[in-house]
Structure 1
Amino acid sequence: MQTPLQSRILEQLRLQLSDEARSGDRLNEAEIAEQLGVSRTPIRRVLQQLQDEGVLAFEPRRGFVVKDPSALTKKMANTVEELLDERVMRDMAIGLLNTVVSERALMQRYSVPNGVLMSTLRRLMRDRLVEPSPGRGWIFADVSPRAMADSYRFRQILEPAAILSDRFVIDRPTLQSLDEDHEDAILRLYELDRPRLFDLDARFHRTVAQGAQTGELVNAIERQNNIRRVTEYIGFVRIERVRQSMMEHRKIIAALLDDDRQIAASLMQIHLQVSMKETFVYMEDDLESLRGGKVRLMPELSPESHNDHVTLE
């Protein structure tokens, strides 16, 4: 199993090799270790993994050389853009992309070609997390801790009120299906990755908002979901909170199915208050860990990782 350090090294080497490597190029362990500021041991293990993937070969007296750059391209075809999405969102979350940034600066920062960068920026534009500036740069959304706190306060006002609105419609089939998905997720909590857990969470809040039959309200909740999606890459809530949160969702759904909107609104208010409190308990420590490179992007959940963090409400 890779360590977080090896995962970061592998990510960086794949990006560099995909952009620069030619068949026959020699890789110098000592130079790579010095460049990345690590010892040669994790470098060697990562190079061995690339050898197993067919990207590199080991030659006596030469060491590791590039064997088949196309193998790297194939391997990365479905992952490089996802990795870039994660890296950009991480940097947004820790405050490194809070000004207007040019495309050239972004390409240099992440060592990716323009096509890969633009794919990520288009996805972020779709989620209204970035927009082009009047010049030639890009403006990133504010996802700082202060923005997160404002988001929670806004939702504490909006979501319970949506449930009590006079046009609210209880869509029983949709709510029942959503409840079944929650039940399944609770049973398979350690089998599901973070994006799937977050998507279920976002779907719950979107479904409740849709009941109010007001487009602007749904758009507002989608916007808040997108802001939270960025912080997913840090994870401010412990895994046990994830389980509890989904149980709270089920209680709200049950109240709606009982046509008791007063209870559902009260439960939603309490749910958001608890979620906000739990989010900020570990936020500063998690941000510091991420800044220091101690947190791996998108770690998988497992029964052995009870202290992993996941953003979920």
Structure 2
Amino acid sequence: MNDSSPRSADRVHEQVKAMAVTYRLRPAERINEVELARQLGVSRTPLREALNRLAAEGFLTTEPNRGYTVRPLDPARVLTLYEYRAMLETAALRLACERADDAALAELAGFAALSRDTPEEDTEALRLLALDEAFHERIAALSGNEEMLRSLRSLNERIRFIRWIDMRKGRRAATQEEHGRITAHLRARDAEAAAALMQTHIARRLDQITDTIRAGFAEIYTGNALAAQALGEVA
């Protein structure tokens, strides 16, 4: 196989991104390009292209003569991402409330109900989180602003591991109930109530994030089921 082809480069990018998103590449770990290329069965050329793209996307950091390092799992940094998410999603929601037609909002309500009623045993790991991400991205899509949707998708990838740990700590029931209430406010065209609830729904305090990260480190070093599932999907 010609692993310098665009298709191969894209595939390597998706594989390494899955490793970074799920912290199979461990926090603050310096990447050994030779070992990673061997592990993936590719040459250094598509791997280096993938690493450059991931650094530009915020998953890795890079320094001259030091190569690439995985983003740290740092509470203060994660808090900034949640703050950005709250600002972005409440703005998108207000636009959706103004621009989406009744049929689109009814479809959103149907999706929220379907997600709520899906048995938990069928929604382990990525499946459970995918339903939650899809709900929020559907609202962003209803804003009619493609840049907001693109930004939210990128942000969701960067906090996916933390949100997965959060879900495993028993937030599913509260999350699904709040989705229903947000949708009801949207259908009533009550942008203020919807935005206030979305802010509460997303917001996290620094101590909450610290507790979640502590649980995340335990997962990273004792199996990391999210990484196993994600990497199986992109293999």
Q: Deviations over 1:144-196 (max 9, x none)?
A: 33221101112223322333359941244343333323323322122113222
The aligned runs of 1:50-199 (5 Å cut-off) are 87-91=19-23, 94-97=26-29, 101=31, 103-107=33-37, 111-114=39-42, 118=47, 121=50, 125=54, 128-130=57-59, 138=68, 140=70, 144-165=74-95, 168-187=98-117, 188-199=119-130
Q: Cα distance, 1:280 vs. partner? A: 2.0
- Partners of 2:16 and 2:93 lie apart in 1 by 38
For the pair shown, the structure with the greater C-alpha radius of gyration is 1
- Paired AA for residue 282 in structure 1: D
% same residue: 18
**Corresponding residue number in structure 2 for 1:285:** 214
- Partners of 1:214 and 1:174 lie apart in 2 by 15
Structure 1 outlier segments of 4+, above 6 Å: 81-85, 131-136
Assess, with a 3 A threshold, how the Cα gap between structure 1 residues 225 and 204 changes in structure 2: closer, same or farther: same
- Partners of 2:122 and 2:96 lie apart in 1 by 40
Q: Cα distance, 1:276 vs. partner? A: 5.4
* Structure ranking higher on relative contact order (CA contacts 8 Å, 6+ apart): 2
- Partners of 2:114 and 2:90 lie apart in 1 by 26
Assess, with a 3 A threshold, how the Cα gap between structure 1 residues 139 and 219 changes in structure 2: closer, same or farther: farther
- Partners of 1:95 and 1:105 lie apart in 2 by 17
RMSD: 4.1
- Partners of 1:170 and 1:279 lie apart in 2 by 34
Q: Cα distance, 1:256 vs. partner? A: 0.5
- Partners of 2:96 and 2:158 lie apart in 1 by 28
Unaligned runs of 5+ in 1: 1-80, 301-313
Assess, with a 3 A threshold, how the Cα gap between structure 1 residues 244 and 209 changes in structure 2: closer, same or farther: same
Q: Deviations over 1:53-82 (max 9, x none)?
A: xxxxxxxxxxxxxxxxxxxxxxxxxxxx99
Instruction: State whether residues 100 and 142 of structure 2, in contact with CA within 8 Å, keep that contact through their aligned partners in structure 1.
Output: yes
Instruction: State whether residues 206 and 221 of structure 1, in contact with CA within 8 Å, keep that contact through their aligned partners in structure 2.
Output: yes
**Corresponding residue number in structure 1 for 2:160:** 229
- Paired AA for residue 176 in structure 2: M
- Partners of 2:59 and 2:209 lie apart in 1 by 24
Higher helix share: 2
What is the TM-score with the length of structure 2 in the denominator?
0.68
Q: Cα distance, 1:105 vs. partner? A: 4.1
- Partners of 1:151 and 1:132 lie apart in 2 by 16
What is the TM-score with the length of structure 1 in the denominator?
0.53
**Corresponding residue number in structure 1 for 2:233:** none
- Partners of 1:296 and 1:181 lie apart in 2 by 29
Q: Cα distance, 1:261 vs. partner? A: 1.0
